[in-house]
Amino acid sequence: MNPNPDPATHKDLPQFNTETWLYEDFEVGWRIRSMRRTISEGEAMLFNSLVLDCHPYVADEIFAREQGIFGRRLVAGAMVFSYGLGLMAHNNINTFSYGYDKVRFIKPVFIGDTIYTIRTNLEKKPKYKEMGLVRVCYEVFKNEGELALYCEHLQTVKYRNPEAFAKEVERK
């Protein structure tokens, strides 16, 4: 027997793996850590081929070992960025990406390294009539706590009560 026979009622079910926090719910200083993830050679090479990154530091084992300053192949910085932020990805239906600032590759990440990410809520301020701006930082660590990447993500977030911010937005 089908326990959900009426498609008209499906929209009323809560969605799995979504968040619904609003601007007023954003707490400056709040931090959270992701689970860890080891980056394999296969996925590193797949990423390189998908984005056409053929730089010898990420694609040429002989070059990296014999001529490279690290003595082994790197994981592409764009992959570290993508995976590091992906580990903290949320599905908040009330937020929209505004952009990234201060992207810094602090330490090299190598094939076989394990990464995890810490997200810290840094700041919030009213921005538009219907949405405020929040700023968070992502710190991607490798292995046992070496900072490998830092960036800040700006997001617009819907207000619960836009009227509460109307005067502040008008002054800008």
- Summarised one tens digit per residue, pLDDT across range 15-39 is 888 899 999 999 999 999 999 999 9
Q: Say yes or no to pLDDT of 118 above 90.
A: yes
Residue 4 belongs to some domain of the structure:
no
d(CA 104, CA 102): 6
Residue 129 belongs to some domain of the structure:
yes
Residue 71 belongs to some domain of the structure:
yes
Q: How many domains does the chain have?
A: 1
- Summarised one tens digit per residue, pLDDT across range 121-148 is 999 999 999 999 999 999 999 999 999 9
Residue 125 belongs to some domain of the structure:
yes
Cα separation of the two ends of the chain:
58
Say how many residues make up the chain. Answer: 172
Residue 6 belongs to some domain of the structure:
no
- Summarised one tens digit per residue, pLDDT across range 64-77 is 999 999 999 999 99
- pTM, rounded to two decimals: 0.91
Question: 159: burial class by Cβ within 10 Å (0-12, 13-18, 19+)?
Answer: buried
What CATH number is given to the structural domain containing 71? Answer: 3.10.129.10
**Domain carrying residue 71:** 20-170
Residue 58 belongs to some domain of the structure:
yes
